[in-house]
């Protein structure tokens, strides 16, 4: 299992993220906000385990898992989210993660437009009321990230 903490937690001496960062000083923070550790801390308190199935045993889709992860990460400040390596890779490859990280290079314009439209529809489908303008080349990745943040603030309550 891997774990994700708020990046700021690494600076809190004695915290779980601080403990892990001594073992993994170069743990990656793709989005600046959250840090991924390729392990878990045995003594972690009440970690949230990202589900792969519903309480009825139905398999959750990648989008459904992404929504659960996004809501939880939006609301949490100091506890760990535990997830499998496969889940981490799935979330990392999800359009919402790319848009959230907002690190598109010049040759990734097509990818940016595709991700923008995907996430717009994706957040609409889970109840966001944010009005996303039609994609244009004037829209920057940072603007898209702001729209995502607004949308998440509505659906994560």
Q: Examine residue 108 and tell whether it contacts other proteins (CB under 8 A).
A: yes
Do 22 and 11 touch, CB atoms closer than 8 A? no
User: Which residues make Cβ contacts (< 8 Å) with residue 26, sequence separation at least 6?
Assistant: none
We find the least distance from the C-beta atom of residue 154 to other proteins, in angstroms, to be 27
Interface segment toward other proteins; rule CB under 8 A; list 64-72, 73-81, 99-107, 136-144: 99-107
In the shown chain, the binding pattern of residues 3 to 32 toward other proteins, with x for contact by CB under 8 A and - for none, equals ---------------------x-xxxxx--
CA pair distance 96, 73, nearest whole angstrom: 13
In the shown chain, the binding pattern of residues 64 to 93 toward other proteins, with x for contact by CB under 8 A and - for none, equals --------------------xxx-xxxxxx
Helix or strand holding residue 35 (H, E) = strand 34-37
CA distances from 9 to 18, 39, 93, 97, 106 (A): 7, 16, 24, 21, 33
Burial class (CB in 10 A: 0-12, 13-18, 19+), 10: buried
Q: Work out whether the CA dihedral 128, 130, 135, 139 comes out positive or negative.
A: negative
Q: Examine residue 39 and tell whether it contacts other proteins (CB under 8 A).
A: yes
Q: How many Cα atoms within 13 Å fall on the side-chain side of residue 139?
A: 21
103 versus 129: smaller Cβ distance to other proteins: 103
Residue from 8, 19, 31, 38 binding other proteins (CB under 8 A): 38
Q: Examine residue 107 and tell whether it contacts other proteins (CB under 8 A).
A: yes
We find the least distance from the C-beta atom of residue 111 to other proteins, in angstroms, to be 7
Contacts with other proteins by CB under 8 A lie at: 2, 24, 26-30, 36, 38-39, 84-86, 88-93, 98, 103, 105, 107-108, 110-111
């Amino acid at each position: 299992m891997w774990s994700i903490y708020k990046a700021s937690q690494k600076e809190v001496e004695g915290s779980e993220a601080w403990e892990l960062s001594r073992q993994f000083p170069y743990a990656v923070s793709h989005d600046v906000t959250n840090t991924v550790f390729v392990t878990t801390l045995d003594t972690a308190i009440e970690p949230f385990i990202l589900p792969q199935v519903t309480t009825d045993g139905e398999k959750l889709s990648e989008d459904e898992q992404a929504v659960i992860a996004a809501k939880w990460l939006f609301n949490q400040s100091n506890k760990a989210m535990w997830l499998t390596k496969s889940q981490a890779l799935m979330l990392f490859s999800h359009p919402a993660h790319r848009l959230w990280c907002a690190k598109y290079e010049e040759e990734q314009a097509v990818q940016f437009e595709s991700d923008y439209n995907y996430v717009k529809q994706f957040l609409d489908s889970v109840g966001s009321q944010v009005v996303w303008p039609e994609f244009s080349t004037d829209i920057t990745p940072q603007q898209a990230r702001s729209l995502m943040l607004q949308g998440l603030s509505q659906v994560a309550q």
